[in-house]
A and B are shown apart, each in its own frame.
Chain A
């Protein structure tokens, strides 16, 4: 069997297209490569011309050949002669059709049901999407939900083991543009640019004699930790030495090797802020609210996508509105190479996701494969693998009307989820208490995560699943071809 693979993104593009929707498909294709090579000869092609040349070769050799298109159906490569099967992720409960958007009317590829019917089969990355496709095309449509094979990629990381969750700190050195909330001089007062009057009168003589009132007792969620012995271990996760973080004003600091100590419980999220579905505002505000009085809680945001400076300003505003807060937020802008990314995974206590919908969420899976428990909702594609055994599950509700992300953004055509912010905030606090006071429970979560990931996304099982599905499709296609040949002969 010969499998041609196609994806719209080149390895040289990665830096430039970081955080774009197609970017994830490049990594999905990479992840599937090994699973495919176990039963087929795999060749990456970059154009329909290349695909057709390979197809001709295969025909001459009497060899089965198909193209797996790692792209959403509306970006399926056109003008290809061999059978094409889209491999795609989709985070909405229904499929787009051409009539949904004005700007789509001239491109029939926006009719996903039609594209999928023409392709005669599809592979998707979650049961959620499989359901959406079958709702549209019927239960007989050949579609397979296949997890992205990520398990083996992190074997080395797993052998290193997870850090003690109640450690004092971990030192990292990352080549990045790092923004550190502690170096920004944040203040809620800084949010006012004019001085508009709130209408409250001032009379110094009267005001001076107003009685002072002691602060109310704080809600005692941290009481469980009082009197506990401390683990003062500081781990050095870095392999090199860099310079300290610098302050930032309206601009992001420059790119260099930054050494910094991440103290206490480290929460990490990897996302593109301009993708509204990622809901990074809730990730930040719930963290700041949960840990307003906690010094050793750290949120690390690995941010991608265009508009870095705009995101930086949005973050400044959110953090100012939360100030004063004792916890720390660190933002890493731009591309992290594989070694630094692994260092970040190794330094993390928990991975955080608060998305309104997900087609996949590769970083979440990667962190889980390394034994890092999560805070995440269990909706859309995450329903396939998120479990309370290793996740502080964030409550959410479906059916929030929304627009297609790739359309004209004028009319609601689909829906996503509403995240219960309070549930996210409580998950932060619960996870913090577990990390600091119940190492055994944390370890169990970490081990459960790895066991679940091995069962979910190990290459062998996925390879078999793919092989079976694609072989069956080739069989179906050849029967159709024979039928067509007979018909041609008969007429």
Chain B
């Protein structure tokens, strides 16, 4: 099988485009690549309109099955190709875009999906959303990024949480609440400085530095410019939950190429927290492989407070590594989060918008965590980490197992292979019924 793959960014330009709407597709494709390479020959396409059908027709002549996986949302899927085209996309809302807003036909995903005839997404939630909108028999599967194997492989026995401290090297910026003066980040100062953002703290570390982590560590990895991540509740609730707990640390690993505007806002949020004893650390920069693994090792819990997820690669990574989660149980998390491997945070629905809809019209719903439940989850998890090592160990094992069932090669591979074969078979059937080229 020839598998043509395409996404918006490639290794050369992704670093400067972190935070663009399709940035995460690059990482998804990267996770899929080893598995796809087991199913066939993978060819990267940079110009689909020019290259896909040339290869497809060659394959057809030689009787070699060929399929094109476009790692982009449906409105950006290359259309009008002869080669069977399958959009591989993430979506975190119960309604898919079904309106030709901005006067563009392809913003109605139903029509694009009906045209391409098949799709791949990453969660049962999204499969159901698509089937509701297009038709109940529409060929779509949930194939999460198969990252479990690479993480569960490093199955180091976990030491009790908070037992020792870790040091990791960071090349970038580190802001540590224990070292900075938060009093500068008041709302009044923010308003006085507007529209310019407040400057970054003088006491931050820049360049190469060492970060020491100890106690009970709550880690979250996200793009702070992405409003769906809801870091406001994540941080506020942490400062309230651990106002008097010195050995609780919230570690925020930020992925975005420009954080100068958003980090002062995060600091203002922390300023509101009013003299908390706990620690909040913001890291933005590059970690070498061994330091990244050290960060995962040092983590007690992975945290998510999002309005919705298409799959959530960081949460999947940490849980595959045996870290229980603090997370709501909605959207993609319905497939892998439950009470056995996570402190589940309650949430409720509120009006939502499609992220790429410039009107930001209310066309769907999104989830919002109940802050009270999040505070409770923080505190319960801290208690378990400190006082109930057996419970913690069981949750760690459950996290690993849950993610195995969700995104291991053994589970995703056959599902994906079967789907691709069915798409190819159906395409050959159609091609066979047409006159030869």
Contact = CB atoms under 8 A, between A and B. Distances in A.
Interface of A: 188-189, 191-192, 195-196, 198-203, 205-208, 210-213, 215-216, 285, 288-289, 320-323, 395, 397-401, 403, 408-413, 418, 420-423
Interface string B102-121: 10111110111011000000
B114 A211 contact: yes
Contacts of A200: 75-76, 102, 104, 106-107, 356
A199 B76 contact: yes
B348 A420 contact: yes
Given A191-B361, A216-B133, A321-B362, A198 B371 contact: no
A237 B377 CA distance: 53
Nearest to B362: A321
Interface of B: 21, 75-76, 79-80, 98, 101-102, 104-108, 110-112, 114-115, 132-135, 186-188, 236-237, 240, 271-274, 346, 348-351, 353, 356-362, 365, 368, 370-373, 375
Contacts of B375: 399
B107 A198 contact: yes
Contact of B21 (A196, A199, A208): A199
A356 to B, nearest CB: 12
Contacts of B104: 198, 200, 202, 207
A211 B109 CA distance: 11
A83 B22 CA distance: 69
A397 B272 contact: no
Contacts of B240: 399, 401, 412
Nearest to B365: A422
Most chain B CB neighbours (cut-off 10 Å) among A212, A213, A285: A213
Contacts of A321: 351, 353, 359-362
A400 B374 CA distance: 10
Nearest to A395: B348
Contacts of A206: 79-80
28 contacts: A188-B359, A199-B76, A200-B106, A201-B76, A202-B106, A203-B80, A208-B105, A210-B79, A211-B111, A285-B351, A321-B362, A323-B361, A397-B346, A397-B372, A397-B373, A399-B371, A401-B237, A401-B240, A410-B188, A410-B271, A411-B272, A411-B273, A411-B274, A412-B273, A418-B371, A420-B348, A421-B351, A421-B368
A322 B352 CA distance: 11
Given A196-B358, A399-B371, 14 more contacts: A201-B106, A202-B104, A203-B79, A206-B79, A210-B79, A213-B108, A216-B133, A289-B362, A320-B361, A321-B359, A397-B372, A399-B372, A410-B186, A410-B272
Contacts, number: 139
Nearest to A400: B371
Contacts of B356: 198-200
Contacts of B272: 401, 403, 410-412
Contacts of A199: 21, 75-76, 356
Contacts of A322: 361-362
A188 B105 contact: no
A266 B362 CA distance: 23
A188 B107 CA distance: 15
Contacts of B132: 216
B351 A408 contact: no
A222 B301 CA distance: 45
Given A401-B236, A410-B272, A412-B274, A210 B114 contact: yes
